[in-house]
Amino acid sequence: MLELRLVQGGLLKKVLEAIKDLVNDANFDCSPAGFSLQAMDSSHVALVALLLRSEGFEHYRCDRNLSMGMNLNNMAKMLKCAGNDDIVTIKADDGADSVTFMFESPTQDKISDFEMKLMDIDSEHLGIPEAEFQAIVRMPSAEFARICKDLSTIGDTVVISVTKEGVKFSTRGDIGTASIVCRQNTTVDKPEEATVIEMEEPVTLTFALRYMNSFTKATPLASQVTISLSSDLPGVVEYKVAEMGYIRFYLAPKLEE
């Protein structure tokens, strides 16, 4: 028996909007620790890892570990029917072939039940080692989204380079080149406007902008994004999900052959 009640149901709507275009089908894993998902995009170039810790739910009942295969587009369709302020409860019986999403309006005067068929998904779970990164950049998520969008009008790839001068995003395409440098800036009025660069060593990596742009669909979740980089390793783009967890996007870099 599974019953997860999330008062901030809007968070789940935003989570689905953030990942549904990158991943078609995925297993949601439910354990006493929380509600999680790990899935790769169809090209196996990007991986998304979601964690919503059990403490973040108002009520969290998960009698035994359960893996539920869902089509994320269909799940997003159902969650779109919830109001942004609705309380969302996810319910499933052990061995059931469906999951129920219950939406309660804040004033409790409207209760909706949406039942969605589950599916069998054969997916391998990858071990992601804890890594020390050469550079970690924390910046406003809207700024990062703007940079990715702007650069993708010029080129297909972004070179991200972190030095003590700052973080540089650059691209080149048929019509020319573009380069945007963001410097560390902690003297802002609001902490969410800060850009913080922690650098152990300078690092330069090349990524496909198509994926970066897809990751920025998570922007409504968090005012800040964290980009963690090490040479020749996947870059990690992380958005916090309120106080309860995170969405991490891992993107394999483009490497010299």
Partner 1 sequence: LKSQARIARFFRAS
Would you call 193 exposed, middle or buried from its count of C-beta atoms within 10 A (0-12, 13-18, 19+)? middle
Radius of gyration of the chain (CA): 19
Distance of CA 19 to the CA centre of its chain: 6
Distance of CA 201 to the CA centre of its chain: 26
Nearer to partner 1, 185 or 213 (CB): 213
| Cβ-based neighbours of 251, under 8 Å, separated by 6 or more | 45, 46, 207, 208, 211, 212, 215, 234, 235, 236, 237
> Measured from the CB of residue 231, what is the shortest distance to partner 1 in angstroms?
12
Nearer to partner 1, 45 or 142 (CB): 45
Residue written as tokens 């040479």?
231
Nearer to partner 1, 53 or 254 (CB): 254
> Measured from the CB of residue 220, what is the shortest distance to partner 1 in angstroms?
26
> Measured from the CB of residue 110, what is the shortest distance to partner 1 in angstroms?
42
Give contact residues for partner 1 (rule: CB under 8 A). 40, 43-47, 124-129, 157, 206, 208, 233-234, 250, 252-257
Nearer to partner 1, 116 or 208 (CB): 208
> Measured from the CB of residue 149, what is the shortest distance to partner 1 in angstroms?
21
Residue 237 and residue 33: Cα distance in Å, rounded? 23
